Amino acid sequence: MFTIRRYSAADKPLWDRYVANARNATFLFFRDYMDYHANRFQDHSLLFFVSNHLYAILPANIVGDTLYSHQGLTYGGLVMNIEVTASDVVQLFRELNDWLCAAGIHRVVYKPVPWVYHQHAAEEDLYPLYWICQARIVQRDLGTVIFMQQHLRWRKDRRRRLRNAKGHGVEVRREDNFRAFWPVLVNNLSDRHGVRPVHTVEEIELLHARFPNHIVQYNAYYDGEVVAGLTFYLSPQVLHGQYCSSTSVGKQIGAVDAIYERAMYEDFPDYRYLDFGRSTEGDGSILNDGLVAQKEGFGGRAICYDTYEWTL
């Protein structure tokens, strides 16, 4: 039924048109986002055709005999438009497994798109993962999401921090000044977790230049200095906090709370969800209690991000 082939650079217009109309895609699947770090990953994205008509796509890379979907993206999985049906997806995975075996690939690691990013129900892939691929969950991370239209009241300590920020005259600016925030982010991640941001400041500036309507920076100023910042990724219905950090002063005066109030209640009040991202560390088995409690203080509650694996 399906003709399966690897993505090539000549497919970029076709690929991007499909992403633009898919029901479970975000801007992360456009090739200008996926390919910014093409030198780090051996792309092995796949296109599925029925009678020369592009039916579905799978962002992926390969390491040895393992196919990942996709290590350079927060989530991946089969990308589908509204025409894709459950029966066809079952057959697609049967044929995908045969195709992968013939290509010498013997293991698949698969990260489906979390349901909050679906613009229409899009979990057809989860059914064949279990029954056809006999996949198992090998990692479960815990994230935090706010249903923004429920307008849940912030917890008392968060409201106190917000009043503190206003009392100190914290100024929140929505601006393209990533360089003013990045040292705050880098220092905070290094001091608290011994890690660095996934993106360098040059990379985030490049991605912002390519997707100015999808990557937004907020900086909070106190006495003329940036004391906190938030980098948001915007999808059709999700406001996702990609990066968030404060200086010691910013923490004391509640600068992050002032940013969230601006984004949630002034700039994006009609969005359905705010995704704070993961609060787990390592392989997902360690829950950062302080971090998740901070997010819950804004009204967020848990959502799980799963990674599946199967062998061929």
Tell me the torsion sign for CA atoms 34, 37, 41, 42.
positive
Contact by Cβ (8 Å): 231, 181: yes
Instruction: Assess whether pLDDT exceeds 80 at residue 291.
Output: yes
What does the alpha-carbon distance between residue 48 and residue 139 come to, in Å, rounded to a whole number?
27
What does the alpha-carbon distance between residue 305 and residue 312 come to, in Å, rounded to a whole number?
24
Instruction: Assess whether pLDDT exceeds 80 at residue 64.
Output: yes
Tell me the torsion sign for CA atoms 258, 197, 22, 307.
negative
Instruction: Assess whether pLDDT exceeds 90 at residue 92.
Output: yes
Rounded mean pLDDT, 258-277: 97
Closest CA to 261 of 153, 177, 125: 153
* pLDDT (0 to 100) of residue 289: 95
Domains 3-134 and 145-305 share a fold: yes
- Per-residue pLDDT reduced to its tens digit, 152-166: 999 999 999 999 999
Residue 22 φ then ψ, to 5°: -75, 155
| CATH architecture of the domain covering 3-134 | 3-Layer(aba) Sandwich (3.40)
What does the alpha-carbon distance between residue 202 and residue 124 come to, in Å, rounded to a whole number?
37
- Per-residue pLDDT reduced to its tens digit, 172-229: 999 999 999 999 999 988 777 678 888 999 999 999 999 999 999 999 999 999 999 9
* pLDDT (0 to 100) of residue 58: 98
CATH tag, 145-305: 3.40.630.30
Instruction: Assess whether pLDDT exceeds 80 at residue 241.
Output: yes
**Torsion, CA 87, CA 89, CA 90, CA 92, rounded to 10:** 130
Residue boundaries of the structural domains of the chain: 3-134, 145-305
Closest CA to 186 of 164, 201, 166: 201
